[in-house]
Amino acid sequence: MKTVEMMNSHPAEINLDRDLLARTVDALVACSQACTACADACLSEEMVAELGKCIRSGLDCADICATTARVLSRHTGYDANLTRAQLEACIQACRSCGSECESHADHHEHCRICADACRTCEQACRDLLAAIA
């Protein structure tokens, strides 16, 4: 089922644009997948020892994005302060991972793809955060 369909089917009142919320969740899930796959691809590179920071930032970002997607998917007992803090953490994780992956993008296509996913996700989280504030 599409994320937007699930958001629209929720019976609770949601004080946010449901389409914006769904797009953000989709960006978070895509970023989590890209970061996980990139970290795994880094482990397969011959120069794996030089990619330690990239692997770590990718796995951290993947976990934070996945958690953020889950937090944004729950609306019963919604806590705007918690949501803001989670989005801010996710923005930082995406910024850090995106920058690290960009530094390897000339040599590793998976890092370029991951950096793009991080930048897209970072912007989606910023847009949602602006709508909450």
Listed by start position, the domains of the chain span 16-132
Domain 16-132 has CATH 1.20.1270.360: yes
pTM of the predicted structure, to 2 decimals = 0.94
Q: What is the pLDDT of residues 48-94, one digit of tens each?
A: 999 999 999 999 999 999 999 999 999 877 888 999 999 999 999 99
Q: Residue 31: which of 129, 116, 130, 88 has the closest Cα?
A: 116
